[in-house]
């Protein structure tokens, strides 16, 4: 058995699984992985699926193969990994970095601290509030949407920290946010706009757009599974929203 080939394949498999899990579209994963493979003198062929990926590393010098199947971890979307790991693949290619240096840099990138969850909470509240402004909400609606988003996003963060099923997280968060936004019914303001925008922070925009990119680029299977997953999450948002609409329906009409 060719140990060097095996170690290379293991690194690239881990690298590609991390990229896939953190919301990178398929063609970039393939390009980056092949680039690293090339820098280490092996040819990489791989198939990316939604839950796992299959990779074969081929060394032309001694005509040996190694195949690896890895599960894709469920990571939150992380664009920092996307840019830093892409950068790493070019660095590996240009400077011909050896495998141990690659592992070190890879672990460094993964160990970088994430943004404070409270800052993300605040920013998403502001984002949804300005969304409400874009849709023509007045000041009261904007204020209430801001607070409703804080409540909904906080619910989501707390539930995700406890690793509760995604679909339940989305349904409950959408319900919390839209119930809070329904308090606009007490005021003389654009309640419809407020209720509609309050759940928009949950829209899985990254898988939606990545799915379309994948399909357009010919990775139809991966793209469809991304879209299907995004669609299910949207159904969950709709379910949470409908629940609060049912409660306040007579007054929203």
Partner 1 sequence: MIFTDILMDGLPAAIAGVGFGAISHPPKRAFSYIAVLAAVGHAIRFALMNYLSLDIAFASFCAALSIGVLSLWFGRLSYCPMTVLYIPALLPMIPGMYAYRAVFALMMFMHSLHTPEVADTCMRMFFSNAIVAAGTIFLLAVGATIPTFLFPKRAYSITRK
Interface residues toward partner 1, by CB under 8 A: 23-25, 28, 31, 76-80, 82-84, 86-87, 89-91, 94, 114-115, 119-120, 123-128, 130-131, 133-135, 193, 195-197, 199-201, 203, 205-206, 208-213, 216-217, 234, 238, 241-242, 245-246, 249
How far apart CA 58 and CA 64 sit, in angstroms, is 6
* Contact between 165 and 140 (Cβ < 8 Å): no
Distances (CA, A) of 246 to 30, 126, 147, 184, 228: 46, 27, 21, 16, 26
Cβ neighbours around 161 below 10 Å, total: 9
Nearer of residues 176 and 193 to partner 1, judged by Cβ: 193
Nearer of residues 66 and 146 to partner 1, judged by Cβ: 146
CB of 218 to partner 1, least distance (A): 11
Residues 6+ apart with CB under 8 A from 21: 72, 73, 74, 75
CB of 28 to partner 1, least distance (A): 7
CB of 227 to partner 1, least distance (A): 10
CB of 243 to partner 1, least distance (A): 10
CB of 78 to partner 1, least distance (A): 5
How far apart CA 35 and CA 33 sit, in angstroms, is 5
CB of 6 to partner 1, least distance (A): 28
**Using N-to-C axis directions, what is the helix angle for 139-161 and 191-198, rounded to 10°?**
20
Nearer of residues 99 and 245 to partner 1, judged by Cβ: 245
Nearer of residues 59 and 173 to partner 1, judged by Cβ: 173
Nearer of residues 5 and 44 to partner 1, judged by Cβ: 44
207 φ/ψ sector (left φ>0, alpha ψ -120 to 50, else beta)? alpha
Nearer of residues 123 and 164 to partner 1, judged by Cβ: 123
Which tokens belong to 244?
Answer: 């609060």
């Amino acid at each position: 058995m060719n140990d060097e080939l095996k170690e290379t394949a293991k690194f690239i498999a881990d690298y590609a699984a991390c990229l896939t899990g953190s919301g990178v579209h398929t063609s970039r994963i393939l390009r980056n992985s092949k680039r690293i493979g090339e820098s280490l003198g092996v040819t990489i062929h791989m198939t990316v699926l939604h839950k796992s990926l299959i990779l074969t590393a081929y060394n032309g010098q001694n005509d040996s193969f190694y195949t690896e199947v890895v599960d894709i971890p469920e990571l939150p979307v992380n664009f920092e990994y996307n840019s830093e790991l892409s950068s790493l693949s070019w660095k590996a290619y240009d400077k011909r970095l050896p495998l141990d240096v690659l592992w070190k840099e890879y672990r460094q990138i993964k160990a970088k601290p994430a943004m404070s969850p409270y800052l993300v909470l605040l920013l998403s509240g502001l984002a949804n509030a300005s969304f409400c402004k874009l849709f023509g909400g007045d000041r009261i609606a904007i204020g209430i949407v801001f607070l409703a988003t804080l409540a909904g996003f906080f619910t989501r963060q707390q539930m995700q920290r406890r690793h509760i099923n995604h679909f339940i997280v989305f349904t409950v968060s959408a319900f919390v946010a839209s119930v809070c936004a329904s308090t606009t019914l007490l005021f003389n303001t654009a309640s419809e706009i407020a209720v509609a925008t309050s759940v928009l922070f949950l829209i899985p925009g990254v898988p939606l757009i990545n799915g379309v990119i994948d399909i357009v680029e010919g990775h139809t299977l991966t793209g469809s599974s991304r879209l299907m997953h995004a669609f299910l999450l949207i159904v969950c948002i709709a379910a949470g929203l409908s629940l609060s609409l049912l409660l306040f329906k007579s007054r929203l009409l």
